[in-house]
Amino acid sequence: MDVILYLLAASLVLGGGGLAVFLWSLRSGQYDDMEGAARRILFDDAPKR
């Protein structure tokens, strides 16, 4: 049953990684403008400078 230890560790690492990504995305303001984000993806990239 040692495998359970590895699995527990793996699930925690994955879950913790997800949490870290969420906190990062929150910190970088990605939830500030949901409406704009939804429309932005429809536009082409800005022309090259």
Identify the three-state secondary structure at position 36: helix
The answer to the question of residue 2 lying near other proteins (CB under 8 A) is no
The answer to the question of residue 12 lying near other proteins (CB under 8 A) is yes
The answer to the question of residue 10 lying near other proteins (CB under 8 A) is no
**C-alpha dist (Å) from residue 14 to 1, 29, 44:** 21, 23, 34
C-alpha count within 13 angstroms, C-beta hemisphere, residue 11: 5
Site for other proteins in 20-49 (CB under 8 A): 22-23, 26, 31-36, 39-40, 42-44, 46-47, 49
Task: State in angstroms the smallest separation of the CB of 4 from other proteins.
Answer: 7
